[in-house]
Amino acid sequence: MGFILKFIIITFALSWVFTNLLRFFLKSKLKRFFDQMQDVQRHEQPRSRPADGNVNVDFIPKSEKKKQPQRREIDGEYVDYIEVKD
């Protein structure tokens, strides 16, 4: 009976120690990761807004004429019908 009790106590103690160590190392790794991400964001070139509300356009796409689909492709075929009264 004494062996089983010692085994259970040692197992609980080791699991408690390992979970706390794992929690500590994960927190430190995540903190380091988030600090690195914040440093990367700080070093990126900040985008500034024009002071007086003007807008600067950096990219103007080429104007291309879009092909207009033919009317048949959009509407389908016209079918004439006769109304039937009962």
Please give the DSSP secondary-structure letter assigned to residue 51: T
Query: pTM for the complete prediction?
Result: 0.41
Tens digit of each residue's pLDDT (9 = 90 or more) over 38-76: 888 887 766 666 667 777 778 877 777 666 655 555 566
CA distance 50 to 52: 6
| Residue 6 near residue 14 (C-beta atoms within 8 A) | no
Query: What does residue 55 show for φ and ψ, rounded to 5 degrees?
Result: -115, 130
* Domain chopping of the chain, boundaries: 1-45
Amino acid letter, 36: Q
- Quickly state the pLDDT bin for 81 (edges 50, 70, 90): confident
CA distance 50 to 56: 8
